[in-house]
Structure 1
């Protein structure tokens, strides 16, 4: 029979030990000798790198007298200024306060002792900050998949761990690691430090959580199991630590009975899934969606309606509300229908819980103005939409959307106890219930770059105040602008944010002509920043109701589509390009040129010199043109794009077509749709086709860009399809 072997346990996160279990050995007087550590006594703690460094604390410490060789050291008297200077140079005045308050030395003021103390303390603070940064970097590495690595991770997460050895039918000995919290437990089976199976169990009473455990177990198993041809020496715990850390966080925040954070998030998922199914039913009624499969309708609901809620999907444990997808008009291939969009880039809202202190929020509802976590499956009514009362004589507007019937669940009240009573309640002798100090949080995956006014508007949707920027972030530079967050400048290329900025990128685009032939064409893209706008990146924020998330979706889709256009046309798919002025061949100054400028030659000689330069430049341009024709790059396209994002994102796109120049100004609306504000394409098309071609409209141009999601491909579509 297998015998459980206790391993090193982490401190319990469940509060005090129940009374029926009796006192622990550490609670019995004299049962356990005091632990001795390098800073376990007061004298050594005074000089701890993390201890109080105040001179007053050191003066009062018993260690001071011991270190100085006597118990009561009186004030010292320095008659010589050189002695005081020597003591200051040794740092004694900055590190110890040994009773110099009444010393009067004529030259002491010139030593700036107080400034030396402050400078020394500042240097010590800088050292501690660097040490914290080093520890933070080391903490990012979670270790490798092994019995010891899993044990350390469980201790770091504050969970209990037990090890049990089993004998398989074939005689091999296997280890089972049981990691347990208050509401969850995971069993990990290892064979020689190689994970064979993972089983996640939930000990709560919520059925909506129980039915999701199998999907979470499969993700945890994938995080720990070796991949094809993968060595155990390279299998890290990083993905498992992220996913299991989410589970452990909810476990530590739960107060059972009373508050179950797993059930709280599962209730939001139930309500959002009810809303999603309502969207699907309405989409099936639309003529253009008739006969479409469910995965096509889900994609339409994801990008145009109220999002697509998923639980434990895309290799991430937890609840996510997906709201935008790259290439959203491209249906998934046959091999992706069973699990659509696993590989494509998707914008999501990751829902979680966090303590108010961690969010920098006040710990009282009256101060924060937001309700804490609530548990309910009825955030929206069973009917989803409110019944609209229509006057008999009034025509019904078919384009108007129904009003959603959101509900307000009741707040949670935790019973008061000796541990959670406040000092005021204890003094007054009142027995009042309290609210949980836990908030819902949403993490933006990926983070979204927003102008300052839209950043504040997103917080207004959640009913919260946006956090003030840390002044230390802007000590060395000015606040970031929208273009700087998208395309960070190198340190040596920093410029004044009030000045305009130009970004040059080179993009190779595959072009298909009307006969279906493909070829590569280089696009020299230039992005002009019309006006730098101070912006911020939003990664996480608190919320209190899923209605607030639904209200955010149009704004988030607007800037998600803008980021897609910027990344495809100027981001990772492109490479560095030279400015246009650098592309033109130039001739270097000769000694004769410099001498002519110095001697101020006559006008005739200057004209001859200028004519010689012009001839040289024309010859170089001719050689460059011949070289581009030989290399097949004669059809390179120069595309200029002007960007401004206030009050809404606008783009002006200019590129050549034959002997004409196309100039289009477009605006990206909320929801990620494109509106053509100004253009000369229709006029140019009518002139070239002479009325024989298919007429086009501004709506056609906007829809083409929405489907291509790429300014370069859009320009080629206009060049090759409209002429």
Structure 2
């Protein structure tokens, strides 16, 4: 096989680097002869300069019964285990560190004429220039055989960025961990494409899926553009994000600092569009540099949920083995409305039916011809199926209820693995770093409520920004056990596209609640009864309202139910604009569904398929008009129209800001003020 030629003219602009654990310092000498030294290890290496993050005590050979005094052989075994663990960690960025890393990985690497040459198997080669004893990340070049999508150029930039220090990090402290992670992905692809699988190219398989998904994306974007004003300089942005969040997703190669093919299916605050630059050319997404979108540089505002499509080793099966094809969908993309196999449901809803194709299996020769060790014969002769399958890895992982997880399993036809994480939504999605009471074996129920104090900037009557304090409480009326989804095996991209509406429901819910209750939220002990049904709630309310006599915090109560069929449902209790300070009795009455006119408004938010929001106001006034049924048909129709318009405004506002605190302030100032 020919040696790939690297592409040296890689872009110079630095993409945002992904986060990684801080580098760890290793002392020159540590005496492990005394039990006290092992006691320090058990407490995380305090005082020794060794970070135990990621090192479980069992991986170091320690057990509860082995922490006492041991003989010399046991001490020596433990010491060797520690040394082996430390040696397995990549060193610091530099020529020697990279060469040592390659030696550890069994990778051929040499330094020739000021360039580190890394031969990554038979399909790719990486060159890293070295000047004055230091690597030059901006000139890292990766070459891949059969690269038809400029994959190597963008991958080169990701590899180079992983050798650069993160913001605020000293150059001398840059670890090779990020670079090693990317190198491992390339090595895994090469290993799967080895002789044991007939030299089948996983790159070709992934590129084939990308070609079909890109065809579908371009078709849907063109249709979305046709419905927009051609003179709108942001029409391309809006159409692309519409397809990303509501249609079949946006496929990208080497996007967001991730090597490989990503199918992006959700973006937080998609309605917040770029405002920099002047004129159409400055703002049109089509004029941006290749593989660079403005949201990539602002991940805090626009967090993107994506599926990274890869290959993994798995027993051969006619229903799951990898197939090499770029014809997963027809050239017309959609079926004709009068086609005999068109979906009648889509026809009634005036929705297109996608014309998916089913490529034939990719067979390997039963035995390689004599003299051919890496050749792949993809003729029509039936041979053996490759022991490789497609897998979609979720970035970030997603938390869904158990019933939803079972539905996904049935859709993709795969069994449950032994390493799934089960717990409550609050513990898995909002307090992921805390131990889950549901999995500790304790008799107590899982966390029932959470509390977080937040500060929200709002515009005052004089047009100046004001800071309002919110005392946010999150309740879970019942225990809904959930699962963390890290990866999903699949055999056809159609399966993933059909799952996107469900994944978006929980991506939106996770982002919305994390913004209000994640990070600084305080988990509270579980209770047998709802917190609103006793004096416990009243005493809490009085304490919270008495924290600051000058400006008491606004009490925001959110109740979450993870409906198995209709998706997540949030009930939000909002103080009215003219309510002032609420008493404990007011809050108690509101939470027990005894409406307090002029004091509090209750809104129910249904997060439906594709994260479409349906707001159900229980006592929301509309422009000062009573929304109850009237004997006059004309008045009744007018009231219904006003209520419908108010509901749509509420949903649109929450979609735009994706922040419960900001949304509540907007409701108080706009909707409630108008109605009183």
| TM-score greater than 0.5 by the shorter chain | yes
Q: Match of 1:267? A: 208
- Measure, in 2, the Cα distance between the counterparts of 1:643 and 1:433: 53
Name the SS for the 1:715 alignment partner: helix
Contact kept? 1:215, 1:312, Cα under 8 Å: yes
- CA shift, 1:574, in A, is 5.8
Higher helix content, 1 or 2: 1
**1:521 matches 2:456:** no
Higher alpha-carbon deviation: 317-326 or 677-686: 677-686
- Measure, in 2, the Cα distance between the counterparts of 1:497 and 1:561: 30
Q: Match of 1:656? A: 575
- CA shift, 1:312, in A, is 1.2
Which of the residues 580, 596, 614 maps onto 1:675? 614
Number of paired residues? Answer: 522
Name the SS for the 1:445 alignment partner: strand
- Measure, in 1, the Cα distance between the counterparts of 2:382 and 2:654: 60
Q: Match of 1:355? A: 313
Q: Match of 2:408? A: 458
Q: Match of 1:312? A: 254
Name the SS for the 1:413 alignment partner: coil
- Measure, in 1, the Cα distance between the counterparts of 2:193 and 2:453: 53
Q: Match of 1:91? A: none
Contact kept? 1:371, 1:544, Cα under 8 Å: yes
Name the SS for the 1:306 alignment partner: coil
Which of the residues 703, 706, 713 maps onto 2:652? 703
Contact kept? 2:424, 2:480, Cα under 8 Å: yes
Q: TM-score, normalised by structure 1?
A: 0.65
- Measure, in 2, the Cα distance between the counterparts of 1:576 and 1:218: 42
Q: Match of 2:366? A: 416
Q: Match of 2:560? A: 643
Which of the residues 480, 483, 500 maps onto 2:426? 483
- CA shift, 1:228, in A, is 8.7
Closer/same/farther in 2, CA of residues 180 and 674 from structure 1, 3 Å limit? closer
Name the SS for the 1:446 alignment partner: strand
Name the SS for the 2:611 alignment partner: coil
Contact kept? 2:115, 2:127, Cα under 8 Å: no
**1:244 matches 2:183:** yes
Closer/same/farther in 2, CA of residues 499 and 481 from structure 1, 3 Å limit? closer
Closer/same/farther in 2, CA of residues 435 and 491 from structure 1, 3 Å limit? closer
- Measure, in 2, the Cα distance between the counterparts of 1:155 and 1:320: 30
Structure 2: runs of 5+ lacking an equivalent: 1-64, 278-282, 371-380, 526-535, 580-597, 628-634
Q: TM-score, normalised by structure 2?
A: 0.69
What value does the CA root-mean-square deviation take over the aligned residues?
4.0
- CA shift, 1:580, in A, is 5.9
- Measure, in 2, the Cα distance between the counterparts of 1:163 and 1:189: 9
Contact kept? 2:560, 2:571, Cα under 8 Å: yes
Q: Match of 2:217? A: 276
- Measure, in 2, the Cα distance between the counterparts of 1:275 and 1:461: 21
- Measure, in 1, the Cα distance between the counterparts of 2:391 and 2:87: 23
**1:212 matches 2:151:** yes
Structure 1: runs of 5+ lacking an equivalent: 1-118, 167-173, 357-362, 421-430, 474-478, 587-619
Contact kept? 1:208, 1:263, Cα under 8 Å: no
- Measure, in 1, the Cα distance between the counterparts of 2:606 and 2:305: 21
- Measure, in 1, the Cα distance between the counterparts of 2:215 and 2:385: 28
Closer/same/farther in 2, CA of residues 334 and 133 from structure 1, 3 Å limit? farther
- Measure, in 2, the Cα distance between the counterparts of 1:182 and 1:454: 42
Which of the residues 92, 109, 119 maps onto 1:179? 119
Closer/same/farther in 2, CA of residues 419 and 284 from structure 1, 3 Å limit? same
- Measure, in 2, the Cα distance between the counterparts of 1:229 and 1:535: 37
1:61-101 deviations in whole A, cap 9, x for unaligned? xxxxxxxxxxxxxxxxxxxxxxxxxxxxxxxxxxxxxxxxx
- Measure, in 2, the Cα distance between the counterparts of 1:134 and 1:582: 52
1:325-404 correspondence to structure 2 within 5 Å: 325-334=267-276, 338=288, 339-342=293-296, 343-344=298-299, 345-356=303-314, 363-365=315-317, 370-389=319-338, 399-404=349-354
- Measure, in 1, the Cα distance between the counterparts of 2:648 and 2:388: 47
- Measure, in 1, the Cα distance between the counterparts of 2:76 and 2:573: 53
1:616-631 correspondence to structure 2 within 5 Å: 624=546, 628-629=549-550
